Structure 1
């Protein structure tokens, strides 16, 4: 499994950096690169999601094994107390009963590591101590194994998250160049991400060109808060049909923290809003006589951003 996961980390493109002397790529080349990066990002995102599942499984296994080991340790402690008098008697008689040594020891594993002790217990296979010893050892091995798996998956997830960021940055840079040459390309390029915010943004992008109608919330006409409400409803998130209420429907983020799908608000009274796309652009339903379109966020006083998913 580890080999397969590591192999999946090698999909980061080697063409992210471009030498200064290289000629500028054509629009067609940039578009091809953008789609390729978006596809790679989707692969990395799914691998990341898979690792999150594996990490949760490993952490649950580690907790179960740890709880089991703790129960065995408590049982051993109870047995230590019961044989305290036996240990004293053995000492008085100058004996060295391995059973007493094992149970009374604060480091029973050190006692078990002695070959003579193991042979002794093997001969007394009906001993409760032998059963306890085996259970405790199994619990400790399971705990260590589960903890090792959790650590391994965490490390792989960190590596994968770093590579996702590299591909995302490369995609944003490529998309930015394309949009500078042809602003209409923004509507034709993939919306990256697999979360509900990205999914809602895809629904909103599918409404480009639909007319603005005051008080409308889809499916074919919209006002500004009606568009965002309709888009998020498609992914199972219910928002109120009012900019002021949507402004308080999630976590507030700064302009520099905006991600695709975040809600963006303008003017002090929050009377206009849209959905962030990236690169300083948003999709919105502007006003009567206009249609759902992509526009720059500049030119309007930014009041805040809200992340609802």
Structure 2
């Protein structure tokens, strides 16, 4: 019974984790009328790009939750296997008792009476038989408890596996949905003039600035680890924005930051919201090169501060990685990871 209680306690937390890791449902795209002017078209494209940024982060969050569910399912399967192995360990002892004729306990008592030379001998033999019966009954109780624990663990494993599979299916559906919206957005963006495209991009993610000298940025880094992060990030300037990608051919915003930090041996989750909760909060006036800067509420965009009021980031859909001012629309805070 103690093993049964332990198993239930162990999996109560796992069940709560599964409940909290329900699949994220993407917010619907805002339906709007067809644009009636160039300015209206520009406004609608800007709004759509912001929606896509939010959806991008929702999918990243869903991906993290699916990974958690898969870990819970794997742990549940391992516990179930251990519980079944515990039951199997009783098999040799059960076979031994079966072969010893314990099932004929009443016949053994008669035989003890008939073959004993004295009353004391009868008592001694029957006491021994009682001890054997008691021990065997205790063994069967243990086996029953172990079997119950194994069944409970297997049920937990099956439920966790089913939920992880369902969440993965939902995530794949969401990714396909967002990709379709991205394709539609890029088609709308291409219909704008070059000046309108530049205005939309600047409004969303700041105007691109000339990238500073990498050697100068590295020289101002507070540590060698930060220097490697800055060098890696600046080396990606000009590469395309690719939704859901962490490189090396293209990046989205949290993909770029996680890629750059990996060069210093630091693993960041591929999620701007998750990154905005790591490390220590840093006031705008105390920013240092290498700090993660994040935008909007809820957080849906990140970049890497490189000093002198500038950051490098994968800006937005259809635009390459670039250096811009850190002081732009939606600035919400910064975190120091190193």
Query: TM-score, normalization: structure 2?
Result: 0.46
Query: TM-score, normalization: structure 1?
Result: 0.49
